[in-house]
Structure 1
């Protein structure tokens, strides 16, 4: 049976791509055809004349299902700023329906395990009237929430979870990304979130010098999805 998830986070640079890539690789180790998609990305450089986003390239490399970059990341914006502002600067209109069409086309490719990675947090504007959360709502995939374990994360995490549930989506679980060095009273904050968030804790992660160092952690998270 196919499993598809939408990965979001409490804020920008919280570790969405770290989690996405780790889970895609874990799925591949488990013998599953894995596919990662990042429908919109802001912050890119030109490679052989074409814009490429680093996170999208990592997702493409981690996917065992091979697709052209343009299907992995159909909307790529050069400046590393809010997507709707970057799009306005380029006189482009990015809509939920357009992104949904791109994704549905890519997801026609046979796969067993797929992740759609969002941009920034849950309520990221796409244009003056639409939010990226509208895309997640239309897709109706279970959501994995990545919590950036730092001062302020309790508020960010609980508000994000409330918004996801208000949009009618299921939270498959949350991942604590950080460690003892990332915030004071880490264990106490972790326990508070475990008690208060309306979703199971899938796992706790720390940043590793080598990506392979976290393989066991991601294998365990995958087993809970």
Structure 2
């Protein structure tokens, strides 16, 4: 009897994060799927401290929705705050956004990642780094952006990546794009300004280079 109760409790503990993710996904699809930057800004208070808290909460909620575009939050932060506040705030958001799904992944059996890898070839990239290259794996998969951010976090948590190496790699791999998007957000009302255009060009270059790196990596594996 006690064993069956323990099994039920363990099952509920494993399922509860997935149920929460499902609820957040439904909420996103029904309420926020077509949200624009202007609409997102209406959810932020005018008081700076309260607005900063709301931005961080958005990052936390994004980490459990698996769909909400994180760059939209970064751009909103850039539009609301001076650049010297927006950039540190968004960098803190990276840590928040990376930590929550990682912790959820700790409750998910690694067999679930195996099943995902069988259906989706790109998931196998996470497993390639699961033995001893935790920092390199987190950095590489963030910088090439070939998989949904939260799926990677969940898988790395499930595969027991070392948290310090995982968070350091995730931070360094995500920060360049976030900084550029923050600057673009601060110049969103002037899309033809030098700041906006330069950041957009650098963003395109990063995307192109990382795509080439990913293609070459896959060719070597084949």
Give TM-score scaled by structure 1 length: 0.29
Larger strand share, 1 or 2: 1
Larger helix share, 1 or 2: 2
Q: Considering Cα pairs closer than 8 Å and 6+ residues apart, tell me whether 1 or 2 has the greater RCO.
A: 1
- Structure showing greater Rg: 2
